[in-house]
Structure 1
Amino acid sequence: MKELNLFLIICIILSSTLCGFSQQKKINTSPNIILFVVDDMGWQDTSVPFDTTITKLNRTYHTPNMERLAAKGVKFTQAYATPICSPSRVSLLTGSNAARHKVTNWTLRKNLSQDAVDNQLSFPVWNMNGLSQKPGVENSFYAKALPQILKENGYYTIHAGKAHLGAIGTPGADPLNLGFDVNIAGHAAGAPESYLGTENFGVGKPDKSVWAVPGLEKYHGKDIFLTEAITREALAAIDPMVNKKPFFLHMSHYAVHVPIMGDPRYLQKYLDAGLNRTEASYASMLEGMDKSLGDIMDFLDRKQIMDNTIILFISDNGGLSAHARGGTPHTHNKPLASGKGSLYEGGIRVPMLVSWPGKYKPGKVVDQYVIIEDFFPSILEITKIKNVSKPQIVDGISFKPLLEDEPYKSDNRPIVWHFPNKWGGSGPGIGPGSAIRKGEWKLIYFYKTQHFELYNLAKDIGETENLFYQYPKLAFSLVKSLTQFLKNTDAQLPFYKENGQKLDYPLETFKNLKF
């Protein structure tokens, strides 16, 4: 009997060991994922050309590691985000369109809207507290976030840098409440008080504490730029997991958001090139961000895990141009019109790269348009994670077929932007509005002025010729589709300040027009 019991114990131990080995082997076959998100980086803010030709701006900036990533992978020339940061970031991690999740402006303080004051309009009560995985949190979007899903499927999840996913004092303010195992320097604020370690990244300034970057005390007083410090910490967090467990790194830089502060490593070269100090500082911040990308790629090469790592690169909105920049406002994203905060292309079209060596054709260019909520279903499909139980409706569509030359059934799908708020900047296309793109056509509706604009982006990327009254049937079709989407998502609309009356949906306005 003792011999039998001993035999059974040995069998159980061997079985458990083999099962554990089998599970470990299964885990290690899943690809590592690096989601590299840049803040406020414009479509042209790189030496990688996303237009059909190399532009003056492409020649101004120096981003050799983006060039390296583009050569290894796939370049998307028509990738879109929302006009400002928090809506994009919530869409990125949930797959839901901004009209649905209703985090339609930038978040910061609990139950306090960041809408600028307007003399005619009031703005709806939106989800100003951001994203929450806990149900019942007021003014929040309840959803299961991408890192939580990946964590439940064997991934080690790391957030590094800007979070800006929930207001101060709400669950979503801490990335650890959204499925991340590690949080490096992420909190409620969407900008740093300072990029300089010599200034403790803003820590210690009582009147500016809301913007101070937390968790980087080891770098306080040191001559180091914030982008570099966050990158070092991100790589240190990855290192113990190499070949042990697949990791998801949400590498989310504060750069190149204001305050525009020169990265000392690169500033002088741009001053020598003749840029004014503001623009030279901006260019140096871009190159510092690019160095971070290169450091991460070098790490993957050293650890011999590049071939089992997918890197996805995107910006959270178009490039800042309305204020704080050097030179003429609203020109920094040419040939695109306007910039951050705008429904014109300069505010929503962003650089996007995807690389997985050995899986995706190097140097491939995709001209099909995609939007930021597509990342959520794409990453799940790439990692073969299926049957996910989640409370939110996913509006995004996987772009995996575009990476692998498979049939893509959504060539002319409608994609929608909804911004019923007022951002802090002003300028062309900046203000409460909704827009829809289908095929080469894009229609914008501005609520305050109740007017429409229609552009053929294939022929007029700069949105210079409004064709609305020349194509009334096409315009009607787009207005109808836009309005139906807004109603289906229960999208909120602004109000007239004088009488509290809600503004019309686009279709209601259209019906009163005379052609």
Structure 2
Amino acid sequence: MKRLFVFIIFILSALAIQAQQRPNIVVFLVDDMGWMDTSVPFADKVYPLNKRYQTPHMERLAREGMKFTHAYATPVCSPSRVSMLTGMNAAHHGVTNWTMPFKDRNSDTPDEQLDFAPWNMYGLSPVKGVPHTAHATVLPQLLNEAGYMTIHVGKGHWATPGTPGANPYNLGFVVNVAGHVAGRPLSYLGEQNYGNMQGKPYNIHAVPDMAEYFGSDTYLTEAITREALKTLEAPIRNGQPFFLHMAHFALHDPYDPDKRYMQKYLDAGLPQTDAIYASMVEGMDKSLGDILDYLEKKGVANNTVFIFMSDNGGLSLAYAGRGEAHTQNLPLRAGKGSVYEGGIRVPMLVKWPGVVKPATVNHTPVIIEDFFPSILEMARVERYNTVQKTDGLSFVPLLKSTDKKIADRALIWHLPNKWTEQDGPGINYKSAIREGDWKLIYHMRDGKMELYNLKSDLGETTDLAARYPKRVKALALKLSQQLRQWEAPMPLFKNTGKPVPLLDEVL
């Protein structure tokens, strides 16, 4: 018995040592941040918009880690968030639009020509058999089972109310602060209790868990950062590896000025709307710096992987049918909701002390579903089972050496939805595929296809489809084959009841 007891103690000690050696992992996820919304140039030169914003802590992260210049999310938020937690492409998991904060309501806008696609409008579910959901084994659950303290802070927006995926605790998070079903806050202002106003009807967009800051002048970005740091105290004290999913509400609307930074942008001559947005960007960057400083202060920075990412491109109000243009993506075309580069290409930075060489740049295309296998590899979770077949590839080899490559593959985006009332560039009922420098865009309404070479035409200004018909055909066949294999949802023609054809059916 004594020998057995000693053996058990040995095993437990070995497991504890192994757990301590595993790196902590922070995913710093920003909402609606465009590729150009930063003083860090992700293009091959500094553009005017880079000079507008002040993000010194993003600059710091780029100096200390690796900058990805061809990182991609999906055109809108919920699909990206589901892809990150499942490792599946949006066309595969079928959550192709944002999930509503109300049950039995479709976020798609009604259309005269096309009827709703049978997409998974209720979002992600860790439980099988929930109608209109994507059932999957999720990332935080696997990390939790491997010994990680799993923490979510900020925006959730994976599923609709009344379904299991709406609650972060059901997804494997041990700690949740402010994560719920809404995709935006009602207010960023502590003076307005972040939307929790007495004497007014309850609003689903009011931010929960922030009562400590009600009535104060604490901006929401600052408040949830302070709460995030509190959640790290216990795992750091106990020597337990942690996974912090720091999911900011910023930079999503409403556009409430961060008073700490607003005036200097007005003094610089920016219009009111642009100054408000720039103040929100700098407040987000301050949060980034606070977390980096805290990790260093606690002595765990050298054993922490830090990943910065946005869930889609920056909002371009003109394209979203919301009035005056407010594009943060130039020279990229269009913005949020679009399969053009402005809607899907996003800032991404990775710091991993001892693994990632500081101040390195990687031009390999990566996509949001790659986070799932990458984070599990970082956490040394080598054996795991999932109910879903994953699509992402680990980018860890890219982090370890700039000479490494991941397998050649095509990247795919699929938006069989009417995201906003007006069709704008690349918005509503579009699919796209990128292979190498070539990108094909499919318009579901009329079967039109556009071809661009991103190396020579970053802004997607010159359609080369007529000049390279063989290239169009090859990409169209590849995209059709993959969408068919994934059983990707397609909208239906109202006059026939039949689904929109795939590309190889209209060639």
Distance 1:444 1:64 in 2: 36
Which residue is 1:443 aligned to?
440
Deviation of 1:406 (Å): 6.8
Shift in Å at residue 12 of structure 1?
A: 5.5
Task: Measure the CA separation in 2 of the matches of 1:406 and 1:49.
Answer: 19
Could you tell me which amino acid in structure 1 is paired with residue 477 of structure 2?
K
Contact 2:191 2:217 in 1 (8 A): yes
Q: Distance in 2 between matches of 1:316 and 1:406?
A: 25
CA distance in 1, matches of 2:67, 2:402: 16
Alignment match, 1:296:
291
User: Alpha carbons of 1:12 and 1:356: their partners in 2 closer, same or farther (altered >3 Å)?
Assistant: same
Q: Deviations over 1:83-106 (max 9, x none)?
A: 000000000111000111000110
CA 1:208–1:428: 2 relative to 1, 3 Å: farther
1:103 equivalent to 2:98? Answer no
Which residue pairs with 2:167 in the alignment? Answer: 174
CA distance in 1, matches of 2:315, 2:202: 22
CA distance in 2, matches of 1:299, 1:14: 38
Residues 51-450 of structure 1: matches in 2 within 5 Å? 51-108=43-100, 109-204=102-197, 206-207=200-201, 209-242=203-236, 244-323=239-318, 329=325, 331-405=327-401, 408=404, 410=406, 412-424=408-420, 426=422, 427-450=424-447
Q: Note closer, same or farther for the CA distance 1:497–1:37 as it changes in structure 2 (3 Å cut).
A: same
Q: Deviations over 1:449-506 (max 9, x none)?
A: 3201000000000000000010011110000000000000001111112232221111
Question: Following the alignment from structure 1 to structure 2, what is the Cα–Cα distance between the partners of residues 180 and 212?
Answer: 21
Q: 1:473 aligns with which of 470, 489, 501?
A: 470
Check conservation: 2:314, 2:327, Cα contact below 8 A: no
1:49 pairs with one of 41, 53, 67: 41
Alpha-carbon separation, structure 2, partners of 1:417 and 1:470: 24
- Kept in 2: contact 1:411–1:439 (CA 8 A): no
State the shift of 1:117 in Å: 1.8
Query: 3-state SS of the aligned residue for 1:385?
Result: coil
Tell me the residue number matched to 1:513: none
Looking at structure 1, the residues matched to 322 and 97 of structure 2 have their Cα atoms a distance apart, in angstroms, of: 25
The question of whether the paired residues in 2 share the 8 Å contact of 1:401 and 1:407 is answered with no
Change (3 A) 1:113 1:288: same
3-state SS in 1 of match to 2:80: helix
Determine helix, strand or coil for the equivalent of 2:278.
helix
RMSD of the TM alignment (CA)?
1.7
CA distance 1:325–1:128, change in 2 (3 Å): closer
**Letter aligned with residue 275 of structure 2:** A
Give the secondary structure class of the aligned counterpart of 1:468.
coil
Residue 331 of structure 1 and its aligned partner are, at CA, apart by 3.9
Structure 1, unmatched stretches of 5+, are 1-7, 511-515
Secondary structure at the counterpart of residue 211 of structure 1: coil
Shift of 1:207: 4.5
Q: What is the rounded CA distance, in whole Å, between the counterparts of 2:321 and 2:241 in structure 1? A: 40
Shift of 1:357: 1.5
The match for 2:18 is 26
The one-letter amino acid paired with 1:268 is Q
| Identical amino acids, percent of aligned pairs | 53
Measured in 2, the distance between the counterparts of 1:481 and 1:14 equals: 58
Distance 2:48 2:421 in 1: 25
> Which residue is 2:461 aligned to?
464
Asked whether the 8 Å contact 1:442–1:457 carries over to 2, the reply is yes
Gaps of 5+ in 2: none
Task: Determine the C-alpha separation between the residues in 2 that align with 1:279 and 1:391.
Answer: 45
Q: 1:46 to 1:406 in 2, by over 3 A?
A: closer
CA separation in 1, counterparts of 2:376 and 2:403?
A: 18
Letter in 2 for 1:111: D
SS at match of 1:82: coil
* CA-to-aligned-CA distance 1:369-416 (integer Å, 9 cap, x gap): 111101111111222212211101111111111111176454641110
Question: In 2, distance between residues paired with 1:203 and 1:229?
Answer: 15
Q: Is the 8 A contact 2:65 2:350 kept in 1?
A: yes
Q: Distance in 1 between matches of 2:489 and 2:177?
A: 34
Aligned length: 502
Instruction: Tell me the SS of whatever aligns to 2:244.
Output: strand
Instruction: Please state whether the residue corresponding to 2:466 is helix, strand or coil.
Output: helix
Inter-partner Cα distance in structure 2 for 1:284 and 1:143: 38
**Structure 1 pair 235–260 and aligned structure 2 pair: CA distance change class (3 A):** same
The change in CA–CA distance for 1:274 and 1:161 in structure 2 (over 3 A counts) is same
Q: What is the TM-score normalised by the length of structure 1?
A: 0.95
**Alignment match, 1:498:** 495
1:281 partner amino acid: I
Whole-angstrom CA distance in 1 between matches of 2:137 and 2:250: 27
In 1: Cα distance, 2:358 partner to 2:195 partner:
41
> Does the 8 Å contact 2:71/2:366 carry over to 1?
yes
CA separation of 1:29/1:410 partners in 2, compared to 1, >3 Å: closer, same or farther?
closer
CA displacement, residues 315-343 of structure 1 (integer Å, 9 cap, x when unaligned): 00000013489996274310000000011
AA in 2 matched with 1:476 = K
| Structure with the greater alpha carbon radius of gyration | 1
CA 1:117–1:141 in structure 2 vs 1: closer, same or farther (change >3 Å)?
same
Equivalent position amino acid for 2:471 in 1: L
Distance 1:112 1:327, change over 3 A: closer
Following superposition, the deviation at residue 278 of structure 1 comes to 1.1
